């Protein structure tokens, strides 16, 4: 196991040296699998912390394109100490830029109303009928389309804009930060303003 590989994995994940060594050992030096292994471990610790109260944090503003696009986002953590750290501040900035670039409508899929989903399903049914797809496969196709729809409108389900693989979501990014920082972190709310947009 090379030091170079451990360093690369540390840079990619922000995990500790021993964690990176263990991940590479467990995955036989396959860096992609090692990243996944570490994410899974990070997510496990994120799940443990999910119930803890997150009432500190930051409200951050991001202005883009000479003032034509702006985002306000509130991200919470458990202590004001963590809110002042560079790791937390950088996470909040990344989330604000993601909102600016990908214009989500909700933070999580749980916030999407039944009416919105019902309307989407009706649109998909009409499209499938138009395409002449057999009715028995509609439910399966619609299920896949709804998943894709969540990935467009829900911040946590969106692919992280800086991840070249297209596999990392904003939820993964937050979970990794929880694993690294050791506190519960929650994107509370956001507002996105684009000049001239209703």
| Residue 44 confidence (pLDDT) | 39
pLDDT at 43 over 50: no
Q: Of residues 153 and 66, which shows the higher confidence score? A: 153
Q: Where are the domains of the chain?
A: 3-49, 56-108+154-194, 113-151
* 45 within 8 A of 174, measured Cβ to Cβ: no
CATH topology for the 3-49 domain: Helicase, Ruva Protein; domain 3 (1.10.8)
Q: Give me the CATH code for the 56-108+154-194 domain, please.
A: 3.30.479.20
Please provide the average confidence, as pLDDT, over all residues in the chain: 86
Q: The pTM is what?
A: 0.70
- pLDDT per position as a tens digit, 68-120: 999 999 999 988 899 999 999 999 999 999 999 999 999 999 999 999 999 99
d(CA 85, CA 9): 22
pLDDT at 49 over 60: no
């Amino acid at each position: 196991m090379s030091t170079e590989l451990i360093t690369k994995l540390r840079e990619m994940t922000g995990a500790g040296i021993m964690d990176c060594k263990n991940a590479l050992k467990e995955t036989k030096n396959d860096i992609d699998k090692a990243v996944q292994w570490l994410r899974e471990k990070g997510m496990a610790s994120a799940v443990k912390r999910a119930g803890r109260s997150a009432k500190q944090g930051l409200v951050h503003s991001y202005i883009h394109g000479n003032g034509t696009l702006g985002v306000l986002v509130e991200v919470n953590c458990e202590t004001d100490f963590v809110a002042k750290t560079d790791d937390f501040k950088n996470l909040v900035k990344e989330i604000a830029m993601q909102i600016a670039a990908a214009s989500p409508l909700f933070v999580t899929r749980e916030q999407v109303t039944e009416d919105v989903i019902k309307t989407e399903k009706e649109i998909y049914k009409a499209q499938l009928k138009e395409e002449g797809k057999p009715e028995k496969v509609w439910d399966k196709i619609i299920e896949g389309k709804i998943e894709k729809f969540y990935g467009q409108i829900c911040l946590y389900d969106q692919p992280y804009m800086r991840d070249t693989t297209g596999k990392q979501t904003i939820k993964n990014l937050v979970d990794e930060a929880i694993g690294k920082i050791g506190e519960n972190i929650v994107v509370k709310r956001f507002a996105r303003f684009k000049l001239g947009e209703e």
